[in-house]
Amino acid sequence: TMFLALNYLSAKSTSTLSMAWNTNATLTSILLITLMSLGGLPPLTGFLPKWVIIQELISNHNILVS
């Protein structure tokens, strides 16, 4: 989905992506939410797996790894 949106917007760099807001605000908003999800920001779907991994590492006393 993210790559299709970038292809549709013809965004080759972050500066052209910032200009895409003027042409298609809905698609740019969806792309922003998708990128935040990949970064693992709460409450998006990428956050829960990272949270579970950190909780398991802490419960197994691997605090330096977490």
More confident residue, 57 or 5: 57
Token pair listed for 43: 């409450």
| Model pLDDT, residue 14 | 72
Instruction: Read off the pLDDT band of 66 (50, 70, 90).
Output: low
Contact 18, 12 (CB under 8 A): no
pTM more than 0.85: no
Q: 18 lies in a domain? A: yes
Would residue 66 count as lying in a domain?
no
What pLDDT does residue 50 have? Answer: 83
Range of the structural domain that residue 33 is part of: 2-59
The answer to whether position 39 is within a domain reads yes
How many other CB atoms sit within 10 Å of the CB of residue 61? 9
Domain count, the chain: 1
What CA–CA distance (Å, rounded) separates 25 from 38?
Answer: 20
Residue-wise pLDDT tens digits, 22-62: 788 888 888 888 888 777 777 777 778 888 888 999 998 88
Is the residue at 65 inside a domain? no
